[in-house]
Structure 1
Amino acid sequence: MPDAFVTRSIDEIRFWSRIMKEHSLFLRLGFRCEDTQLINEAQYFYKVFEGIEQQSHAYGLDTDPSTIKQFNKEVHAAVSHIWVFKRKLLGLILSCQLPGQNNFPLLVDHVSREAYYFRNRLEELNQGKLEPLQDAIIDENVFFLRIMADHAKFIGHLLDPSERKLVDQAREFSHDFDQLLFQAKDLDSMRPQSQTKPLLDQFLDQNRVSVKSLRDFKQTARDLIYQCKVKSIIHPLLADHVFREAERFLEIIDMFEGALTAKREPSIHL
Protein backbone atom coordinates (compact mmCIF):
# COMPACT_ATOMS: atom_id res chain seq x y z
CA MET A 1 0.00 0.00 0.00
CA PRO A 2 1.45 3.44 -0.93
CA ASP A 3 2.87 5.51 1.90
CA ALA A 4 0.42 8.34 2.77
CA PHE A 5 3.23 10.85 3.26
CA VAL A 6 4.70 10.05 -0.16
CA THR A 7 1.32 10.14 -1.89
CA ARG A 8 0.31 13.45 -0.34
CA SER A 9 3.71 15.08 -0.96
CA ILE A 10 3.85 14.12 -4.63
CA ASP A 11 0.27 15.25 -5.18
CA GLU A 12 0.89 18.65 -3.57
CA ILE A 13 4.11 19.24 -5.46
CA ARG A 14 2.71 18.19 -8.84
CA PHE A 15 -0.24 20.53 -8.46
CA TRP A 16 1.41 23.56 -6.88
CA SER A 17 4.70 23.50 -8.81
CA ARG A 18 2.67 23.90 -12.00
CA ILE A 19 0.77 26.76 -10.39
CA MET A 20 4.04 28.47 -9.35
CA LYS A 21 5.44 27.99 -12.86
CA GLU A 22 2.40 29.63 -14.40
CA HIS A 23 2.48 32.49 -11.89
CA SER A 24 5.96 33.27 -13.15
CA LEU A 25 4.69 33.43 -16.72
CA PHE A 26 1.69 35.63 -15.89
CA LEU A 27 3.80 38.08 -13.89
CA ARG A 28 6.39 38.28 -16.67
CA LEU A 29 3.72 39.06 -19.25
CA GLY A 30 2.58 41.99 -17.11
CA PHE A 31 5.96 43.73 -16.89
CA ARG A 32 7.06 46.64 -19.05
CA CYS A 33 9.73 46.05 -21.71
CA GLU A 34 12.28 47.99 -19.64
CA ASP A 35 11.76 45.81 -16.55
CA THR A 36 14.48 43.46 -17.71
CA GLN A 37 15.64 42.41 -14.24
CA LEU A 38 12.11 41.47 -13.17
CA ILE A 39 11.51 39.69 -16.48
CA ASN A 40 14.70 37.67 -16.00
CA GLU A 41 13.77 36.81 -12.41
CA ALA A 42 10.32 35.64 -13.47
CA GLN A 43 11.83 33.55 -16.26
CA TYR A 44 14.30 32.04 -13.78
CA PHE A 45 11.46 30.96 -11.49
CA TYR A 46 9.54 29.58 -14.46
CA LYS A 47 12.46 27.28 -15.25
CA VAL A 48 12.96 26.32 -11.59
CA PHE A 49 9.37 25.21 -11.13
CA GLU A 50 9.22 23.60 -14.54
CA GLY A 51 12.13 21.44 -13.40
CA ILE A 52 10.43 20.68 -10.07
CA GLU A 53 7.22 19.71 -11.86
CA GLN A 54 9.10 17.36 -14.18
CA GLN A 55 11.01 15.83 -11.27
CA SER A 56 7.79 15.24 -9.32
CA HIS A 57 6.44 13.15 -12.18
CA ALA A 58 9.60 11.06 -12.16
CA TYR A 59 8.84 9.86 -8.63
CA GLY A 60 6.41 6.99 -8.12
CA LEU A 61 4.19 6.32 -5.12
CA ASP A 62 6.63 3.58 -4.09
CA THR A 63 9.49 6.08 -3.68
CA ASP A 64 11.32 5.89 -0.37
CA PRO A 65 9.86 8.44 2.11
CA SER A 66 13.32 9.76 2.98
CA THR A 67 13.85 10.68 -0.67
CA ILE A 68 10.55 12.54 -0.78
CA LYS A 69 11.32 14.29 2.49
CA GLN A 70 14.54 15.65 0.98
CA PHE A 71 12.67 16.64 -2.21
CA ASN A 72 10.13 18.51 -0.07
CA LYS A 73 12.99 20.47 1.54
CA GLU A 74 14.39 21.44 -1.86
CA VAL A 75 10.97 22.51 -3.13
CA HIS A 76 10.36 24.42 0.10
CA ALA A 77 13.51 26.47 -0.53
CA ALA A 78 12.39 27.29 -4.08
CA VAL A 79 8.90 28.28 -2.92
CA SER A 80 10.38 30.49 -0.20
CA HIS A 81 12.42 32.32 -2.83
CA ILE A 82 9.50 32.91 -5.20
CA TRP A 83 7.41 34.13 -2.24
CA VAL A 84 10.10 36.73 -1.48
CA PHE A 85 10.13 37.75 -5.16
CA LYS A 86 6.37 38.19 -5.21
CA ARG A 87 6.34 40.26 -2.02
CA LYS A 88 9.17 42.42 -3.37
CA LEU A 89 7.19 42.97 -6.55
CA LEU A 90 4.09 43.93 -4.57
CA GLY A 91 6.12 46.49 -2.66
CA LEU A 92 7.42 48.02 -5.89
CA ILE A 93 3.92 48.29 -7.32
CA LEU A 94 2.37 49.77 -4.18
CA SER A 95 5.16 52.36 -3.92
CA CYS A 96 4.52 53.40 -7.56
CA GLN A 97 7.97 52.33 -8.73
CA LEU A 98 6.58 50.40 -11.73
CA PRO A 99 4.13 52.79 -13.40
CA GLY A 100 2.44 51.30 -16.43
CA GLN A 101 3.01 47.63 -15.62
CA ASN A 102 -0.07 45.43 -15.90
CA ASN A 103 -0.11 43.23 -12.79
CA PHE A 104 -2.89 44.16 -10.36
CA PRO A 105 -1.59 44.58 -6.79
CA LEU A 106 -4.31 42.19 -5.60
CA LEU A 107 -3.15 39.60 -8.14
CA VAL A 108 0.44 39.82 -6.89
CA ASP A 109 -0.76 39.52 -3.30
CA HIS A 110 -2.96 36.60 -4.38
CA VAL A 111 -0.11 34.63 -5.96
CA SER A 112 2.12 35.33 -2.96
CA ARG A 113 -0.56 33.92 -0.63
CA GLU A 114 -0.63 30.75 -2.71
CA ALA A 115 3.16 30.43 -2.46
CA TYR A 116 2.96 30.90 1.32
CA TYR A 117 0.26 28.21 1.51
CA PHE A 118 2.38 25.79 -0.54
CA ARG A 119 5.44 26.46 1.59
CA ASN A 120 3.49 25.80 4.80
CA ARG A 121 2.02 22.60 3.38
CA LEU A 122 5.52 21.25 2.70
CA GLU A 123 6.61 22.13 6.24
CA GLU A 124 3.59 20.38 7.75
CA LEU A 125 4.16 17.27 5.67
CA ASN A 126 7.83 16.99 6.59
CA GLN A 127 7.18 17.67 10.26
CA GLY A 128 4.21 15.30 10.42
CA LYS A 129 2.03 18.05 11.87
CA LEU A 130 -1.58 16.99 11.45
CA GLU A 131 -4.11 19.70 12.17
CA PRO A 132 -7.33 18.38 13.76
CA LEU A 133 -9.98 17.72 11.11
CA GLN A 134 -12.35 20.44 12.33
CA ASP A 135 -9.59 23.06 12.31
CA ALA A 136 -8.38 21.96 8.88
CA ILE A 137 -11.88 22.26 7.41
CA ILE A 138 -12.25 25.86 8.54
CA ASP A 139 -8.70 26.93 7.67
CA GLU A 140 -8.71 25.40 4.18
CA ASN A 141 -12.07 26.94 3.37
CA VAL A 142 -11.03 30.39 4.58
CA PHE A 143 -7.99 30.18 2.30
CA PHE A 144 -9.74 28.83 -0.80
CA LEU A 145 -12.88 30.96 -0.50
CA ARG A 146 -10.69 34.05 -0.65
CA ILE A 147 -8.86 32.60 -3.65
CA MET A 148 -12.17 32.00 -5.43
CA ALA A 149 -13.40 35.54 -4.62
CA ASP A 150 -10.16 36.95 -6.03
CA HIS A 151 -10.57 34.93 -9.23
CA ALA A 152 -14.03 36.35 -9.81
CA LYS A 153 -12.69 39.88 -9.37
CA PHE A 154 -9.82 39.30 -11.80
CA ILE A 155 -12.13 37.80 -14.42
CA GLY A 156 -14.52 40.74 -14.14
CA HIS A 157 -11.70 43.23 -14.68
CA LEU A 158 -10.01 41.36 -17.53
CA LEU A 159 -13.12 40.80 -19.62
CA ASP A 160 -13.85 43.48 -22.19
CA PRO A 161 -16.42 45.97 -20.79
CA SER A 162 -18.69 45.15 -23.73
CA GLU A 163 -19.08 41.60 -22.38
CA ARG A 164 -21.72 42.94 -20.01
CA LYS A 165 -23.41 39.65 -19.13
CA LEU A 166 -20.17 37.86 -18.28
CA VAL A 167 -18.88 40.90 -16.36
CA ASP A 168 -22.09 40.98 -14.32
CA GLN A 169 -21.82 37.26 -13.61
CA ALA A 170 -18.23 37.68 -12.44
CA ARG A 171 -19.27 40.50 -10.11
CA GLU A 172 -22.07 38.35 -8.67
CA PHE A 173 -19.61 35.55 -7.98
CA SER A 174 -17.23 38.03 -6.36
CA HIS A 175 -20.00 39.20 -4.03
CA ASP A 176 -21.18 35.66 -3.26
CA PHE A 177 -17.71 34.43 -2.36
CA ASP A 178 -16.99 37.49 -0.26
CA GLN A 179 -20.10 36.60 1.75
CA LEU A 180 -19.03 32.95 2.05
CA LEU A 181 -15.60 34.10 3.21
CA PHE A 182 -17.16 36.31 5.89
CA GLN A 183 -19.21 33.32 7.08
CA ALA A 184 -16.09 31.15 7.19
CA LYS A 185 -14.25 33.79 9.22
CA ASP A 186 -17.21 33.96 11.61
CA LEU A 187 -16.94 30.20 12.13
CA ASP A 188 -13.22 30.61 12.65
CA SER A 189 -13.74 33.16 15.42
CA MET A 190 -16.31 30.90 17.11
CA ARG A 191 -13.95 27.96 17.60
CA PRO A 192 -14.34 25.40 19.13
CA GLN A 193 -18.09 25.89 19.50
CA SER A 194 -18.54 26.10 15.70
CA GLN A 195 -16.82 22.77 15.07
CA THR A 196 -19.79 20.47 15.53
CA LYS A 197 -20.38 17.96 12.74
CA PRO A 198 -23.83 19.35 11.69
CA LEU A 199 -22.44 22.88 11.32
CA LEU A 200 -19.41 21.69 9.37
CA ASP A 201 -21.56 19.48 7.14
CA GLN A 202 -23.79 22.44 6.29
CA PHE A 203 -20.73 24.64 5.80
CA LEU A 204 -19.17 22.23 3.30
CA ASP A 205 -22.44 21.58 1.48
CA GLN A 206 -23.04 25.30 0.99
CA ASN A 207 -19.51 25.88 -0.24
CA ARG A 208 -19.66 22.90 -2.57
CA VAL A 209 -22.74 24.27 -4.37
CA SER A 210 -21.13 27.70 -4.81
CA VAL A 211 -17.74 26.37 -5.91
CA LYS A 212 -19.35 24.05 -8.46
CA SER A 213 -21.26 27.00 -9.91
CA LEU A 214 -18.10 29.10 -10.12
CA ARG A 215 -16.15 26.15 -11.56
CA ASP A 216 -18.74 25.77 -14.31
CA PHE A 217 -18.61 29.51 -15.05
CA LYS A 218 -14.82 29.36 -15.30
CA GLN A 219 -15.04 26.35 -17.57
CA THR A 220 -17.47 28.14 -19.89
CA ALA A 221 -15.30 31.27 -19.92
CA ARG A 222 -12.19 29.19 -20.58
CA ASP A 223 -13.82 27.39 -23.51
CA LEU A 224 -15.10 30.65 -24.99
CA ILE A 225 -11.64 32.19 -24.71
CA TYR A 226 -10.00 29.20 -26.38
CA GLN A 227 -12.56 29.39 -29.18
CA CYS A 228 -12.11 33.16 -29.56
CA LYS A 229 -15.81 33.69 -28.80
CA VAL A 230 -15.39 36.23 -26.01
CA LYS A 231 -13.64 39.60 -25.91
CA SER A 232 -11.08 39.86 -23.12
CA ILE A 233 -7.41 40.29 -22.27
CA ILE A 234 -7.40 36.97 -20.38
CA HIS A 235 -4.56 34.67 -21.40
CA PRO A 236 -6.03 31.25 -22.31
CA LEU A 237 -3.66 29.57 -19.85
CA LEU A 238 -4.86 31.88 -17.08
CA ALA A 239 -8.44 30.83 -17.81
CA ASP A 240 -7.44 27.17 -17.42
CA HIS A 241 -5.31 28.00 -14.37
CA VAL A 242 -8.23 29.41 -12.34
CA PHE A 243 -10.46 26.54 -13.48
CA ARG A 244 -7.96 23.98 -12.13
CA GLU A 245 -7.82 25.76 -8.77
CA ALA A 246 -11.61 25.54 -8.45
CA GLU A 247 -11.38 21.83 -9.24
CA ARG A 248 -8.75 21.52 -6.52
CA PHE A 249 -11.03 23.18 -3.98
CA LEU A 250 -13.84 20.75 -4.86
CA GLU A 251 -11.46 17.81 -4.32
CA ILE A 252 -10.60 19.18 -0.88
CA ILE A 253 -14.27 19.55 0.02
CA ASP A 254 -14.83 15.93 -1.12
CA MET A 255 -11.99 14.75 1.10
CA PHE A 256 -13.33 16.58 4.13
CA GLU A 257 -16.89 15.37 3.58
CA GLY A 258 -15.61 11.82 3.31
CA ALA A 259 -13.64 12.18 6.53
CA LEU A 260 -16.65 13.59 8.38
CA THR A 261 -18.89 10.81 7.08
CA ALA A 262 -16.41 8.17 8.19
CA LYS A 263 -16.04 9.97 11.55
CA ARG A 264 -12.31 9.77 11.31
CA GLU A 265 -9.49 12.09 10.40
CA PRO A 266 -7.55 11.60 7.16
CA SER A 267 -4.09 10.16 7.62
CA ILE A 268 -2.60 13.17 5.88
CA HIS A 269 -4.82 16.26 5.68
CA LEU A 270 -4.62 18.69 2.80
Structure 2
Amino acid sequence: MANPIVARSLNEIQFWSRIMKEHALFLSLGFTYDQKNLVLEAQHFIQVFERVEEKLSRFSINSDIQLVKAFNTEVYQHAVDIWAFKRKVLGLTLRCEITSNNYPLLVDHISREAAYFANRLKELNQGILAPKPEAIIKENVFFLKIMADHAKFIGHLLDPSERKLVDQAREFSHDFDQLLFQAMDLDSMRPQSETKPILSQFLDQNRVSVTSLRDFKKTARDLIEACRIKSNIHPLLADHTFREAERFLEIIDLYEVSLNKN
Protein backbone atom coordinates (compact mmCIF):
# COMPACT_ATOMS: atom_id res chain seq x y z
CA MET A 1 0.00 0.00 0.00
CA ALA A 2 1.32 3.45 -0.96
CA ASN A 3 2.51 5.72 1.83
CA PRO A 4 0.00 8.61 2.13
CA ILE A 5 2.81 11.12 2.69
CA VAL A 6 4.41 10.02 -0.58
CA ALA A 7 1.13 10.24 -2.50
CA ARG A 8 0.25 13.65 -1.09
CA SER A 9 3.76 15.03 -1.64
CA LEU A 10 3.75 14.06 -5.30
CA ASN A 11 0.25 15.48 -5.72
CA GLU A 12 1.22 18.83 -4.18
CA ILE A 13 4.37 19.08 -6.29
CA GLN A 14 2.51 18.16 -9.47
CA PHE A 15 -0.11 20.85 -8.94
CA TRP A 16 1.94 23.69 -7.47
CA SER A 17 5.05 23.32 -9.64
CA ARG A 18 2.90 23.97 -12.69
CA ILE A 19 1.36 26.96 -10.92
CA MET A 20 4.82 28.34 -10.04
CA LYS A 21 6.01 27.90 -13.62
CA GLU A 22 2.98 29.78 -14.91
CA HIS A 23 3.49 32.55 -12.35
CA ALA A 24 6.97 33.07 -13.73
CA LEU A 25 5.55 33.23 -17.24
CA PHE A 26 2.87 35.77 -16.28
CA LEU A 27 5.45 37.96 -14.54
CA SER A 28 7.76 37.83 -17.57
CA LEU A 29 4.91 38.87 -19.87
CA GLY A 30 4.08 41.79 -17.59
CA PHE A 31 7.54 43.33 -17.44
CA THR A 32 8.39 46.14 -19.87
CA TYR A 33 11.02 46.02 -22.61
CA ASP A 34 13.65 47.76 -20.43
CA GLN A 35 13.29 45.28 -17.55
CA LYS A 36 15.37 42.61 -19.27
CA ASN A 37 17.06 41.38 -16.09
CA LEU A 38 13.72 40.74 -14.42
CA VAL A 39 12.49 38.95 -17.53
CA LEU A 40 15.58 36.73 -17.44
CA GLU A 41 15.03 35.96 -13.74
CA ALA A 42 11.43 35.02 -14.41
CA GLN A 43 12.48 32.80 -17.32
CA HIS A 44 15.04 31.13 -15.05
CA PHE A 45 12.20 30.03 -12.75
CA ILE A 46 10.25 28.68 -15.70
CA GLN A 47 13.24 26.41 -16.40
CA VAL A 48 13.63 25.51 -12.70
CA PHE A 49 10.06 24.25 -12.41
CA GLU A 50 10.20 22.51 -15.77
CA ARG A 51 13.12 20.52 -14.35
CA VAL A 52 11.06 19.82 -11.22
CA GLU A 53 8.25 18.48 -13.41
CA GLU A 54 10.70 16.32 -15.34
CA LYS A 55 12.16 14.88 -12.13
CA LEU A 56 8.66 14.35 -10.72
CA SER A 57 7.86 12.07 -13.67
CA ARG A 58 10.45 9.58 -12.33
CA PHE A 59 8.56 9.11 -9.05
CA SER A 60 5.46 7.05 -8.31
CA ILE A 61 3.23 6.53 -5.29
CA ASN A 62 5.35 3.47 -4.51
CA SER A 63 8.59 5.45 -4.37
CA ASP A 64 10.77 5.30 -1.27
CA ILE A 65 9.59 7.84 1.29
CA GLN A 66 13.10 9.05 2.08
CA LEU A 67 13.74 9.81 -1.60
CA VAL A 68 10.44 11.67 -1.77
CA LYS A 69 11.26 13.66 1.37
CA ALA A 70 14.60 14.62 -0.17
CA PHE A 71 12.74 15.75 -3.30
CA ASN A 72 10.34 17.74 -1.11
CA THR A 73 13.31 19.51 0.46
CA GLU A 74 14.74 20.32 -2.96
CA VAL A 75 11.45 21.68 -4.28
CA TYR A 76 10.88 23.55 -1.01
CA GLN A 77 14.05 25.56 -1.71
CA HIS A 78 12.85 26.38 -5.23
CA ALA A 79 9.52 27.56 -3.79
CA VAL A 80 11.35 29.75 -1.27
CA ASP A 81 13.54 31.17 -4.05
CA ILE A 82 10.61 32.10 -6.31
CA TRP A 83 8.83 33.57 -3.27
CA ALA A 84 11.87 35.81 -2.68
CA PHE A 85 11.87 36.87 -6.34
CA LYS A 86 8.19 37.74 -6.21
CA ARG A 87 8.64 39.76 -3.00
CA LYS A 88 11.56 41.59 -4.63
CA VAL A 89 9.36 42.50 -7.61
CA LEU A 90 6.62 43.64 -5.23
CA GLY A 91 9.06 45.83 -3.34
CA LEU A 92 10.40 47.41 -6.54
CA THR A 93 6.82 48.11 -7.62
CA LEU A 94 5.64 49.60 -4.33
CA ARG A 95 8.73 51.85 -4.14
CA CYS A 96 7.97 52.98 -7.71
CA GLU A 97 11.39 51.77 -8.86
CA ILE A 98 9.69 49.87 -11.68
CA THR A 99 6.38 50.20 -13.49
CA SER A 100 5.04 47.07 -15.13
CA ASN A 101 1.77 45.48 -16.17
CA ASN A 102 1.77 43.29 -13.05
CA TYR A 103 -0.65 44.59 -10.42
CA PRO A 104 0.98 44.82 -6.96
CA LEU A 105 -1.89 42.76 -5.55
CA LEU A 106 -1.26 40.09 -8.19
CA VAL A 107 2.45 39.92 -7.26
CA ASP A 108 1.53 39.70 -3.58
CA HIS A 109 -1.09 37.05 -4.44
CA ILE A 110 1.36 34.78 -6.25
CA SER A 111 3.96 35.21 -3.50
CA ARG A 112 1.39 34.01 -0.95
CA GLU A 113 0.86 30.91 -3.08
CA ALA A 114 4.61 30.24 -3.18
CA ALA A 115 4.74 30.53 0.62
CA TYR A 116 1.78 28.14 0.92
CA PHE A 117 3.49 25.61 -1.38
CA ALA A 118 6.73 25.77 0.60
CA ASN A 119 4.87 25.35 3.88
CA ARG A 120 2.94 22.32 2.61
CA LEU A 121 6.19 20.58 1.65
CA LYS A 122 7.65 21.38 5.06
CA GLU A 123 4.58 19.98 6.81
CA LEU A 124 4.63 16.80 4.75
CA ASN A 125 8.27 16.19 5.63
CA GLN A 126 7.21 16.55 9.27
CA GLY A 127 4.60 13.85 8.72
CA ILE A 128 1.63 16.24 8.87
CA LEU A 129 -0.94 14.94 6.43
CA ALA A 130 -4.39 15.74 7.85
CA PRO A 131 -5.00 19.28 9.09
CA LYS A 132 -6.12 20.01 12.63
CA PRO A 133 -9.36 22.00 13.06
CA GLU A 134 -7.53 25.31 13.51
CA ALA A 135 -5.57 24.62 10.31
CA ILE A 136 -8.82 24.01 8.42
CA ILE A 137 -10.01 27.52 9.26
CA LYS A 138 -6.67 29.15 8.47
CA GLU A 139 -6.32 27.36 5.15
CA ASN A 140 -9.82 28.45 4.20
CA VAL A 141 -8.81 32.03 4.99
CA PHE A 142 -5.90 31.58 2.60
CA PHE A 143 -7.96 30.09 -0.22
CA LEU A 144 -10.92 32.44 0.19
CA LYS A 145 -8.57 35.40 -0.23
CA ILE A 146 -7.11 33.73 -3.32
CA MET A 147 -10.62 33.36 -4.79
CA ALA A 148 -11.53 36.96 -3.89
CA ASP A 149 -8.34 38.16 -5.58
CA HIS A 150 -9.13 36.16 -8.71
CA ALA A 151 -12.53 37.82 -9.02
CA LYS A 152 -10.89 41.24 -8.71
CA PHE A 153 -8.26 40.43 -11.34
CA ILE A 154 -10.88 39.14 -13.76
CA GLY A 155 -13.00 42.26 -13.28
CA HIS A 156 -10.03 44.55 -13.94
CA LEU A 157 -8.67 42.63 -16.93
CA LEU A 158 -11.95 42.32 -18.81
CA ASP A 159 -12.60 45.04 -21.36
CA PRO A 160 -14.86 47.71 -19.77
CA SER A 161 -17.38 47.11 -22.55
CA GLU A 162 -17.98 43.59 -21.19
CA ARG A 163 -20.32 45.13 -18.65
CA LYS A 164 -22.27 42.03 -17.66
CA LEU A 165 -19.15 39.93 -17.03
CA VAL A 166 -17.49 42.81 -15.18
CA ASP A 167 -20.55 43.09 -12.92
CA GLN A 168 -20.51 39.34 -12.30
CA ALA A 169 -16.82 39.46 -11.36
CA ARG A 170 -17.50 42.32 -8.94
CA GLU A 171 -20.33 40.36 -7.34
CA PHE A 172 -18.03 37.39 -6.83
CA SER A 173 -15.38 39.71 -5.39
CA HIS A 174 -17.89 41.06 -2.87
CA ASP A 175 -19.21 37.59 -1.99
CA PHE A 176 -15.75 36.19 -1.35
CA ASP A 177 -14.70 39.22 0.65
CA GLN A 178 -17.69 38.52 2.91
CA LEU A 179 -16.78 34.83 3.18
CA LEU A 180 -13.20 35.82 3.98
CA PHE A 181 -14.30 38.16 6.77
CA GLN A 182 -16.57 35.42 8.11
CA ALA A 183 -13.68 32.95 8.12
CA MET A 184 -11.44 35.46 9.90
CA ASP A 185 -14.15 35.95 12.53
CA LEU A 186 -14.37 32.19 12.97
CA ASP A 187 -10.60 31.99 13.30
CA SER A 188 -10.66 34.57 16.10
CA MET A 189 -13.25 32.47 17.98
CA ARG A 190 -10.93 29.49 18.38
CA PRO A 191 -11.03 27.03 20.08
CA GLN A 192 -14.79 27.41 20.57
CA SER A 193 -15.33 27.41 16.80
CA GLU A 194 -13.42 24.16 16.33
CA THR A 195 -16.51 21.99 16.73
CA LYS A 196 -17.42 19.54 14.00
CA PRO A 197 -20.92 20.96 13.22
CA ILE A 198 -19.62 24.53 12.89
CA LEU A 199 -16.68 23.50 10.70
CA SER A 200 -18.88 21.27 8.53
CA GLN A 201 -21.35 24.11 7.95
CA PHE A 202 -18.44 26.45 7.22
CA LEU A 203 -17.06 24.05 4.59
CA ASP A 204 -20.47 23.44 3.03
CA GLN A 205 -21.03 27.17 2.62
CA ASN A 206 -17.62 27.64 1.05
CA ARG A 207 -18.15 24.70 -1.29
CA VAL A 208 -21.34 26.23 -2.72
CA SER A 209 -19.67 29.60 -3.34
CA VAL A 210 -16.47 28.15 -4.79
CA THR A 211 -18.48 25.91 -7.12
CA SER A 212 -20.31 28.98 -8.49
CA LEU A 213 -17.03 30.85 -8.99
CA ARG A 214 -15.43 27.77 -10.58
CA ASP A 215 -18.28 27.57 -13.08
CA PHE A 216 -17.97 31.30 -13.86
CA LYS A 217 -14.24 30.89 -14.44
CA LYS A 218 -14.84 27.92 -16.71
CA THR A 219 -17.30 29.92 -18.81
CA ALA A 220 -14.89 32.86 -18.99
CA ARG A 221 -12.00 30.56 -19.94
CA ASP A 222 -13.99 28.92 -22.71
CA LEU A 223 -15.13 32.30 -24.08
CA ILE A 224 -11.58 33.69 -23.97
CA GLU A 225 -10.16 30.62 -25.74
CA ALA A 226 -12.85 30.97 -28.42
CA CYS A 227 -12.11 34.73 -28.75
CA ARG A 228 -15.74 35.50 -27.93
CA ILE A 229 -15.10 38.17 -25.28
CA LYS A 230 -12.81 41.18 -25.12
CA SER A 231 -10.16 41.20 -22.40
CA ASN A 232 -6.47 41.40 -21.53
CA ILE A 233 -6.68 37.94 -19.95
CA HIS A 234 -4.18 35.42 -21.31
CA PRO A 235 -5.98 32.12 -22.07
CA LEU A 236 -3.49 30.31 -19.83
CA LEU A 237 -4.27 32.71 -16.97
CA ALA A 238 -7.98 31.98 -17.38
CA ASP A 239 -7.30 28.25 -17.16
CA HIS A 240 -4.87 28.82 -14.28
CA THR A 241 -7.51 30.49 -12.09
CA PHE A 242 -10.04 27.78 -13.01
CA ARG A 243 -7.64 25.05 -11.88
CA GLU A 244 -7.04 26.81 -8.56
CA ALA A 245 -10.80 26.90 -7.89
CA GLU A 246 -10.95 23.19 -8.68
CA ARG A 247 -8.08 22.66 -6.26
CA PHE A 248 -9.90 24.50 -3.48
CA LEU A 249 -12.93 22.24 -3.97
CA GLU A 250 -10.69 19.15 -3.73
CA ILE A 251 -9.15 20.51 -0.52
CA ILE A 252 -12.58 21.20 1.00
CA ASP A 253 -13.40 17.53 0.37
CA LEU A 254 -10.14 16.50 2.08
CA TYR A 255 -11.06 18.63 5.09
CA GLU A 256 -14.46 16.94 5.29
CA VAL A 257 -12.81 13.52 5.29
CA SER A 258 -10.41 14.68 8.02
CA LEU A 259 -13.29 15.96 10.17
CA ASN A 260 -15.25 12.72 9.78
CA LYS A 261 -12.26 10.71 11.02
CA ASN A 262 -12.04 12.72 14.24
TM-score, normalized by length of structure 1? 0.95
**How far 1:21 sits from its partner (Å)?**
0.1
Taking the aligned partners of 1:145 and 1:118, their CA distance within structure 2 comes to 16
Which amino acid counterpart does residue 145 of structure 2 have in structure 1?
R
Taking the aligned partners of 2:170 and 2:69, their CA distance within structure 1 comes to 42
Taking the aligned partners of 1:129 and 1:204, their CA distance within structure 2 comes to 21
Taking the aligned partners of 1:201 and 1:132, their CA distance within structure 2 comes to 14
Paired residue for 2:103? 104
Taking the aligned partners of 1:18 and 1:210, their CA distance within structure 2 comes to 25
Paired residue for 2:214? 215
Paired residue for 2:40? 40
Taking the aligned partners of 1:156 and 1:132, their CA distance within structure 2 comes to 33
Taking the aligned partners of 1:182 and 1:109, their CA distance within structure 2 comes to 19
- C-alpha contact 2:131 2:255 (8 A) present in aligned 1: no
- C-alpha contact 1:156 1:170 (8 A) present in aligned 2: yes
Taking the aligned partners of 2:202 and 2:165, their CA distance within structure 1 comes to 27
Residues 45-100 of structure 1, C-alpha deviations (whole Å, 9 max, x = no match): 0010111122212211110001001101110111111111000000000011112x
> Unmatched 5+ residue regions in structure 2?
none
Kindly indicate whether residue 197 of structure 2 is the aligned counterpart of residue 164 of structure 1: no
Measured on the aligned residues, the alpha-carbon RMSD in Å equals 1.0
Paired residue for 1:49? 49
Paired residue for 2:153? 154
Paired residue for 1:128? 127
Which amino acid counterpart does residue 225 of structure 1 have in structure 2?
I
Taking the aligned partners of 1:234 and 1:117, their CA distance within structure 2 comes to 25
- C-alpha contact 1:14 1:57 (8 A) present in aligned 2: no
SS of the aligned residue for 2:160 comes to: coil
> Unmatched 5+ residue regions in structure 1?
265-270
Q: Which moved more, 1:54-63 or 1:142-151?
A: 54-63
In structure 2, do the counterparts of structure 1 residues 132 and 24 end up closer, same or farther at CA, with 3 Å as the change threshold? closer
Taking the aligned partners of 1:128 and 1:62, their CA distance within structure 2 comes to 17
Which amino acid counterpart does residue 53 of structure 2 have in structure 1?
E
Q: Which moved more, 1:135-144 or 1:146-155?
A: 135-144
Taking the aligned partners of 1:80 and 1:23, their CA distance within structure 2 comes to 14
**How far 1:129 sits from its partner (Å)?**
3.8
Which amino acid counterpart does residue 138 of structure 1 have in structure 2?
I
Q: How does 1:1-270 map to 2 (within 5 A)?
A: 1-99=1-99, 101-129=100-128, 132-260=131-259, 262-264=260-262
Which amino acid counterpart does residue 143 of structure 1 have in structure 2?
F
Identity score, percent: 68
**How far 1:130 sits from its partner (Å)?**
5.5
